């Protein structure tokens, strides 16, 4: 997810010192003020890490307990704010990986080595640690089973995260599995694949685009590393030809969600429109050049 504030070398940002509500943003009203502030619509909340799941060598999922979490839609994100001992704050956005049906919020964070926030979230943070977040944020890049399909997901690397929330929701929501769905996911190599086992299970074990009898088919493509023996997926970058082979045709009027690094998203979205998909049926979310934002 994109960076909201400036990059720059601030070492030593670690656990947040937490102000329970809206801390830091606005000065507190003077005690004599008779007018109470309305509750912040986007309040900073304290999240506690319940569990950490290593997804890949550089990506971890944080299972969070967030008191009074108002619920979210698949595809939405949160802002995370860390505060250093000297008061310096760094803020980043991270997509929500968990479906609305689960009580715990899950973020999956890819470590950007020179980032300000991800090294802590994806490296040092552990169960029991707390930090500030606010959300859910965003209403454009969202999908629910009620919106129907067909549902076409196209992920570049860690762009899979908000799409995973959609897939998990599809599996749990009433009528979700009746929505035909396809996922085309692009990875540098097998080692970078996030949620690989779970995605295979959701698709009934099929990973070659053959379909699964549950309405979900999945294709992975590897862009840099040679695939392992027996690889049934694609090789190389997602291009117009691969899209033509692997995604729902424009004539089927799918809802298409594309998420990944900026160049990936722009190339895929342009190719989809060139293939005849209506621009307003292609929802996009760009992560920025590094694919993580830090």
Which phi and psi angles does 108 have, rounded to 5°? -115, 125
Considering the complex, state which of residue 2 and residue 204 has its C-beta at the smaller distance from other proteins.
Answer: 2
In the Cβ-directed half-sphere of 167, how many Cα atoms lie within 13 Å? 30
Per CB under 8 A, 24 contacts other proteins: no
Binding other proteins by CB under 8 A: which of 156, 285, 291, 292? 285
- How far from 134 is each of 72, 83, 102, 159, 293, CA to CA, in Å? 12, 14, 18, 20, 17
Binding other proteins by CB under 8 A: which of 18, 66, 137, 240? 137
Binding other proteins by CB under 8 A: which of 72, 170, 196, 286? 286
Burial class for 30, CB neighbours closer than 10 Å (0-12, 13-18, 19+): exposed
Per CB under 8 A, 288 contacts other proteins: yes
Considering the complex, state which of residue 42 and residue 274 has its C-beta at the smaller distance from other proteins.
Answer: 42
Among positions 91-120, residues that touch other proteins (CB under 8 A) are 93
Strand partners, 255: 151
Per CB under 8 A, 36 contacts other proteins: no
Per CB under 8 A, 35 contacts other proteins: no
Cα separation, 245 vs 6, in Å, equals 40
Per CB under 8 A, 79 contacts other proteins: yes
Q: Name the minimum Å distance from CB 281 to other proteins.
A: 12
Binding other proteins by CB under 8 A: which of 69, 88, 231, 283? 283
| Cβ proximity of 285 and 107 under 8 Å | no
Strand partners, 218: 183
| Cβ proximity of 116 and 89 under 8 Å | no
Q: Name the minimum Å distance from CB 287 to other proteins.
A: 8
Binding other proteins by CB under 8 A: which of 34, 140, 174, 228? 140
Cα separation, 271 vs 253, in Å, equals 15
* Residues near other proteins (CB under 8 A): 1-6, 26-27, 41-42, 77, 79, 93, 134-135, 137-142, 262-263, 266, 280, 283-286, 288-289
């Amino acid at each position: 997810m994109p960076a909201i504030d400036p990059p720059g070398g601030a070492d030593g940002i670690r656990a947040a010192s937490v102000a329970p509500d809206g801390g830091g943003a606005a000065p507190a009203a003077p005690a004599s003020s008779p007018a109470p502030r309305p509750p912040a619509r986007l309040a900073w909340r304290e999240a506690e890490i319940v569990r950490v799941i290593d997804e890949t060598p550089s990506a971890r999922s944080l299972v969070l307990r967030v008191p009074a979490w108002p619920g979210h839609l698949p595809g939405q994100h949160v802002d995370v704010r860390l505060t250093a001992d000297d008061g310096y704050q760094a803020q980043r956005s991270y997509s929500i990986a968990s479906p609305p049906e689960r009580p715990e919020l899950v973020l999956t964070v890819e470590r950007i080595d020179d980032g300000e926030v991800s090294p802590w979230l994806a490296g040092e943070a552990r169960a029991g640690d707390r930090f500030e977040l606010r959300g859910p944020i965003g209403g454009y890049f969202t999908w629910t089973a009620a919106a129907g399909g067909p549902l076409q997901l196209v992920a570049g690397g860690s762009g899979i995260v908000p799409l995973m929330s959609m897939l998990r929701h599809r599996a749990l929501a009433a009528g979700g599995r009746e929505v035909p769905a396809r996922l085309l996911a692009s990875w540098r190599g097998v080692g970078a694949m996030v949620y690989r086992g779970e995605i295979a299970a959701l698709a009934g074990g099929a990973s070659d685009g053959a379909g699964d009898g549950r309405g979900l088919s999945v294709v992975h493509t590897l862009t840099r590393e040679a695939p392992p023996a027996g690889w049934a997926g694609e090789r190389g970058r997602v291009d117009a030809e691969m899209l033509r082979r692997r995604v729902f045709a424009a004539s089927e009027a799918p809802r298409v969600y594309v998420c990944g690094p900026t160049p990936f998203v722009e190339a895929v979205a342009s190719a989809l429109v060139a293939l005849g998909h209506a621009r307003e049926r292609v929802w996009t979310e760009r992560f920025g050049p590094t694919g993580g934002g830090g």
